[in-house]
Amino acid sequence: MSRPEILAPAGNLEKLKTAIDFGADAVYLGGSKLNLRALADNFDNEKLKEGLKYAHDRNRKVYVTINVFPHNDDLEGLEEYLKELYDMGVDAIIASDPGIISTARDVVPHLEVHLSTQANNVNWKAALFWHKIGIKRIVLARELSLEEIKEMRRKLPDTCEIEAFVHGSMCISYSGRCLLSNYMTGRDSNRGLCAQPCRYEYYLMEEKRPGEYFPVYEDERGTYVLNSKDMCMIEHIPELVEAGIHSFKIEGRMKSSYYVASVVKAYREALDSYLENPSEYKFKEKWLEYLMKPSHRQYCTGFYFGDKNIQTYDSSSYVRNYDIIGIVKEYNTDTATATIEQRNRVFDGEKVEILRAKGDSFEVALEDMKDKNGKKIDAARSAQMIFTVKTNLELKERDILIKAKEK
């Protein structure tokens, strides 16, 4: 049985390290140009080199997105950029535009190319076409069912890898090809600047009644007619593996480090458990609990089992059950003191939950809270402040502190 890759989003260097620490086999990220998350932190060349070293030192891979729909002026400097990525040791690029792909084949012929989901590949003939011109991996459109994916795997050569999204946000448009954002806000989603107008609440106005707005109802449940749920396939690991999917892709380059850690941990544990003993595999509720705590929308299984129950009409809001409190920078075993970088407010004496790359979560009490100068404080209130606490259990570097949201 082939061992699928878990591919995680890396919106910045911290998230890259978090994804790898929590079990990702590979990460995908945006470099300095031509990626569809222009508003993410992204990676300049120096950060990319650091991220590549961190990944490669741990035998993990890094894929760089060049997946915009480029206009003429976007192509300026493309050849030099591709050569820079190749020289730095990037494991693959992810692209959808034939102009970018053909340029890559010309100037860096040994650099692996993956076909982005933006190319909307939904059949095996198209996948075979791309593979014959040098594409190593097809990132499938989200609109495919599990049966369609199985058929593609049967009809494609083993040398053509298949990657599919298994978790994260869904797009109301066909695998990201959307004009709404550009039309309504001037921000082109196909060049990395989506304003997510599909999440807006809409009303209907009749031409001869200006200013008189009527709600748009769908079965009387609400007005968010374009708003999709998030995909979650954690309960269907056996089906994904048996379908022959090479890479399980997690969406979320704009999401938090806590989201990355929780989702990667859940899929890592579930996949490893299945591969260890497929015949005895049993789903564990704790894996779903990991996914319910960080910010998310209502979950569905996307198009894998048909397209029913994908939209949510009552709200576009996220479900936020837990907040990240901080990340452990170091732990002194002699003094039982943890140094923490703050993410959200936490008080001296509070109990928090510890999310760790390996093992179950557990609670600790934060005692004797001090600022970086050693001054006693009653709370860590300032964003990303460094503070210390004593804990009743030993912590580790890069442990993530979380707590249930205050009601």
CATH number of domain containing 29? 3.20.20.70
Dihedral over alpha carbons 226, 232, 237, 239 (to 10 degrees): -20
Here the CATH number for the domain that contains residue 369 is: 2.40.30.10
245/372 same-domain check: no
**With bands split at pLDDT 50, 70 and 90, how would you rate the model's confidence at 280?**
very high
126/249 same-domain check: yes
331/290 same-domain check: no
pLDDT of residue 405: 83
- Tokens at 80, concatenated: 């030099």
Query: What are the C-alpha distances in Å from 117 to residues 248, 264, 290, 378?
Result: 13, 20, 27, 49
Is the per-residue pLDDT at 201 higher than 60? yes
Taking residues 115-144, what's their average pLDDT?
95
More confident residue, 316 or 59: 59
Residue 180 within a domain: no
Residue 186 within a domain: no
Q: How large a percentage of the chain has pLDDT more than 90?
A: 69
pLDDT of residue 195: 72
274/389 same-domain check: no
69/170 same-domain check: yes
260/359 same-domain check: no
159/237 same-domain check: yes
Is the per-residue pLDDT at 220 higher than 80? no
- For the chain, give the longest Cα–Cα distance: 76
Name the residue among 313, 312, 305, 153 with its Cα closest to residue 233: 305
Backbone angles phi, psi at 96, to 5 degrees: -125, -25
Q: Is the Cβ–Cβ distance between 24 and 267 less than 8 Å? A: no
pLDDT tens figures, 79-125:
999 999 999 999 999 999 999 999 999 999 999 999 999 899 999 99
pLDDT tens figures, 293-334:
988 888 889 889 976 665 554 555 566 789 999 999 999 999
User: Containing H/E element for 274?
Assistant: helix 257-276
249/364 same-domain check: no
3-state helix, strand, coil in the chain (%, to 5): 30, 25, 45
Q: Taking all residues of the chain, what is their mean pLDDT, rounded to a whole number?
A: 88
pTM of the model as a whole: 0.86
Residues 189 and 388: their CA atoms lie apart, in Å, by 42
Residue 204 within a domain: no
**With bands split at pLDDT 50, 70 and 90, how would you rate the model's confidence at 230?**
confident
253/367 same-domain check: no
Residues 384 and 95: their CA atoms lie apart, in Å, by 35
Residues 212 and 278: their CA atoms lie apart, in Å, by 59
Look up the domain containing 236 and give its range.
Answer: 5-174+227-300
Number of separate domains in the chain: 2
**Domain boundary, last residue among 269, 300, 331:** 300
Residue 398 within a domain: yes
256/382 same-domain check: no
Strand order across the beta sheet in which 386-390 lies: 362-365, 351-355, 400-404, 322-332, 337-342, 386-390, 367-371
43/87 same-domain check: yes
Residue 381 within a domain: yes
Measured distance between the N- and C-terminal CA atoms of the chain, rounded to whole angstroms: 46
Task: For residue 130, give the 3-state DSSP assignment.
Answer: helix
**Domain boundary, last residue among 300, 332, 364:** 300
Backbone angles phi, psi at 161, to 5 degrees: -80, 155
**Domain boundary, last residue among 300, 333, 362:** 300
Question: Crossing angle, helix 257-276 and helix 13-21, to 10 degrees?
Answer: 20
Residues 86 and 109: their CA atoms lie apart, in Å, by 10
Residue 193 within a domain: no
Residue 219 region by backbone torsions, left for phi larger than 0, else alpha for psi between -120 and 50, else beta: left
Residue 131 within a domain: yes
- Strand pairing of 26-30 and 346-347? unpaired
282/400 same-domain check: no
Residue 294 within a domain: yes
- Tokens at 330, concatenated: 């170091």
Would you give the distance in Å from CA 46 to the centre of its chain? 22
Residues 133 and 185: their CA atoms lie apart, in Å, by 37
